[in-house]
Amino acid sequence: MDKYQQIKRIFEAHQDPCQAIKMAHYMRDQFIFYGIPTKSRKVLTRPLIKEEKQQAMIDWAFLDQCYQDEHREFQYLVCDYLDALKKYLCYEDLSHIRTYLVTRSWWDTTDALDLVVGSLGLRDKRVNDLMLAWSTDENIWLRRVAIDHQLLRKEKTDTELLEKILVNQWGSQEFFINKAVGWILRDYSKTDPDWVRAFISRHETKMHPLSIREESKYL
């Protein structure tokens, strides 16, 4: 039995139909769930991920198989896997991650993968140009990753890149974009509030009110 079938059997053995309905409803009934909570899912998949880390390489065939499964827990497994093995990623792997971001897309998987992309960006500066390109893409989830891939970087934040990416969002009425703009600025305000205040001063007239409201929490 291959890895995918092993995990599928484990998920099926721990499914909770009542919880599955609640989880699907929370995601606006866009996805099918087994009904396995995050903590339980990570416990169930921990042995697999531990073994994969020992292999020190990404099994893309396995991840592709998982991502194609209709159950949302499999997409979450892919995100957990990539986060655990992110140090083995290279720039060329971003084409795979891009496919995941534009497939079965919603905020949950997007937000789980943005820091995976961001960690690679700290090691390979080619990611900067790619994030600039994604920041103007028609796909809102690629734009959201471009906006938030520097979350939690603190002093390592590339503010020149950040400003360019954010300016590319002016005029957007998309909730998930304007929310993300607010989040990244709010996060960075904990490191450099003066920079964020100056940014607001420069761009406030073009910023969406939602972004301003989100970013101002710590100012």
Given 37, 54, 88, the domain boundary residue is 88
Residue 79 lies in a domain: yes
- Do residues 217 and 196 touch, judged by C-beta distance below 8 A? no
- Residue 180 CB contacts under 8 Å (≥ 6 apart), including other chains: 143, 144, 147, 148
Q: Please check the confidence at residue 1 and state whether its pLDDT lies above 80.
A: no
CATH number of the domain encompassing residue 174: 1.25.10.90
Q: Is residue 93 part of a domain?
A: no
The residue among 88, 123, 150 that closes a domain is 88
Global pTM reads: 0.95
How confident is the model over 89-138, as pLDDT tens digits?
999 999 999 999 999 999 999 999 999 999 999 999 999 999 999 999 99
For residue 162, what are the domain limits?
Answer: 110-219
Q: How many folded domains does the chain comprise?
A: 2
27: its two tokens = 């995601």
